[in-house]
Chain A
Amino acid sequence: SAVISQKPSRDICQRGTSLTIQCQVDSQVTMMFWYRQQPGQSLTLIATANQGSEATYESGFVIDKFPISRPNLTFSTLTVSNMSPEDSSIYLCSVPDGLILNEQFFGPGTRLTVL
C-alpha cells in the first residue's frame, strides 16, 4: 500500500486568491489523481497527473483554473486559482495500486473554505 500526505490539511481563503495543495507519496508512482469532494456530491476526478507530461483534465475542469505540477514520481501539486465560494470543497490526491487494478489509495484530503 501507499502512504500519502497532503498539505495543508485545511485552509480558509479569500475570494480571488489562489491556493496550492501539495501531495507527497512514499513510493514512486506513474499516475497521480486529483479529486474534488464537494458537500453532498460525488467524489469527482479533476485531472490525472503523469510525470513528464501535461496533466489530463476531465470535462468541466481546465488548466487555467486548476494548474497541476508533477516534478517527480513522488510529488504533485494542485493549485486552485482565482477562488470563489463555489470552490469550497475537500481536495484529495490518490494513486493507483499497481497490483490491484481497482484499488486507489487516497490522501487525507485538504479542506478548503473560500469566503
Chain B
Amino acid sequence: QKEVEQDPGPLSVPEGAIVSLNCTYSNSAFQYFMWYRQYSRKGPELLMYTYSSGNKEDGRFTAQVDKSSKYISLFIRDSQPSDSATYLCAMRSRDDKIIFGKGTRLHILP
C-alpha cells in the first residue's frame, strides 16, 4: 500500500458546482496536510495546509482532515474554469519528509 493514495482523475464538473477532491494515507505519523495546485506547464503552488482534524476554510476552498480515518479532502465551492488544474495532496511527518499524492486533474466546464 502506498503511503498516499489519490485518484488521478480526470474529474470534470460544470461551472458553479462543488468539487470534492480526496486523499487517503496509511502513515499515522503524518502531522501536516497540504493541498497544492498545479497549472499546466507550471510548478505546484501551495493552496492550504492544516495540522489538525476538522475543517479549515479559505474563501471558496475548504480543507478537511479526518485523522481517525486517515482521509483528507479539499472542497471547492462555486467552481470556476480558472480552477481547472491538477490538485496534489501532500503530507509531512516529524522528520520533515513531504510525501505527495499523484494529483487529480480537474476540469471545470464553462
Given contacts A40-B102, A42-B100, A43-B100, A102 and B43 within 8 Å (CB-CB): no
Contacts of A94 in B (CB 8 A): 43
Q: Which residues of B contact A40 (CB under 8 A)?
A: 8, 102
- Contact check, A104 vs B98: say whether CB atoms are below 8 A apart: yes
B103 CB to closest chain A CB (Å) equals 8
Mask: chain B, 1-23; 1 = CB below 8 Å from A; 0 = not: 00010001000000000000000
Contact A108 B49 (CB under 8 A): no
Interface pairs (19), CB distance under 8 Å: A40-B8, A40-B102, A42-B4, A42-B100, A42-B102, A43-B44, A43-B88, A43-B100, A94-B43, A100-B46, A102-B32, A103-B46, A103-B49, A104-B46, A104-B98, A108-B41, A108-B43, A109-B42, A109-B43
**Chain B residues within 8 Å of A4, by CB:** 43
Question: What count of chain A residues pass the 8 Å CB interface test?
Answer: 20
- B: interface residue count bin: 20 to 34
Residues of B within 8 A of A43 (CB): 44, 88, 90, 100, 103
Contacts beyond the supplied A103-B46, A104-B98: 10 A-B pairs with Cβ under 8 Å: A42-B99, A42-B102, A43-B88, A43-B90, A44-B100, A45-B98, A92-B43, A102-B49, A105-B43, A109-B42
Q: Please give, as numbers and ranges, the residues of chain B lying within 8 Å of A111 by CB-CB distance.
A: 41
Bound CA–CA A43/B99 (angstroms):
8
Residue of A nearest to B88 (CB): A43
Taking the closest CB of chain A, its distance from the CB of B31, in whole angstroms, is 10
Interface string of B50-91 (1 = CB under 8 A from A): 000000000000000000000000000000000000001010
Q: Are B41 and A109 in contact (CB under 8 A)?
A: yes
* Chain B, range 22-42, C-beta contacts under 8 Å to A: 32, 34, 41-42
A58-115 residues with Cβ-Cβ distance < 8 A to B are 92, 94, 100-109, 111
Are A102's CB and B46's CB within 8 A?
yes
Query: Does residue A41 face the partner (Cβ distance < 8 Å to B)?
Result: yes
Report which of B32, B45, B46, B97 forms a contact with A45, defined as CB distance below 8 A.
Answer: B97
**Chain A residues closer than 8 Å to B90, beta-carbon distance:** 43
* Given known A-B contacts A42-B4, A45-B98, A107 and B43 have beta carbons under 8 A apart: yes
